[in-house]
Structure 1
């Protein structure tokens, strides 16, 4: 099983690298597989690689579900 999460591209770096933001956490990732990614695009991240782009609305729905799960987990 793998887990991939949506994150927003906030900065493009040389050599097909980018900085993404996920709820205030910023991380440098590879965009080798999504070389057309631009700032403000949402990409799916898996183990440090952007593996595809995602529609912003779908990204927001997915992030909201993750937040809901985290809140539910905190109540258990």
Structure 2
């Protein structure tokens, strides 16, 4: 199973972005994106690549779902 994580772009240097969510930062390549992005935008990160740009509402809803899953024990039984 593949999992993409919504993260917010904090800074951009060429084709690389520093992205953050809940205090966790990761570097991600922007080379797969068709749409231009800017600092503050939300992107879906998978395997070190930003694979799509997300609107803020969609990103926040997905992040809230991830937080709920973690609060409920991570979905592991």
Counterpart of 2:10?
10
Residue ranges of structure 2 left out of the alignment (5+ in a row): none
Q: What do the CA deviations read for 1:18-44 (whole angstroms, capped 9, x no partner)?
A: 100011111111000126111011000
Paired residue for 1:45? 45
Question: What TM-score do the two structures reach when normalised by structure 1?
Answer: 0.90
Q: Secondary structure at the match of 1:58?
A: helix
Between Structure 1 and Structure 2, how many residues are aligned? 74
- Normalised by the length of structure 2, the TM-score is 0.89
Extract structure 1 runs of 4+ deviating beyond 6 A. none
Structure 1 residues not aligned, in runs of 5+: none
Residue 22 of structure 1 corresponds to 21
Q: Once superposed, what is the RMSD of the aligned Cα atoms?
A: 1.4
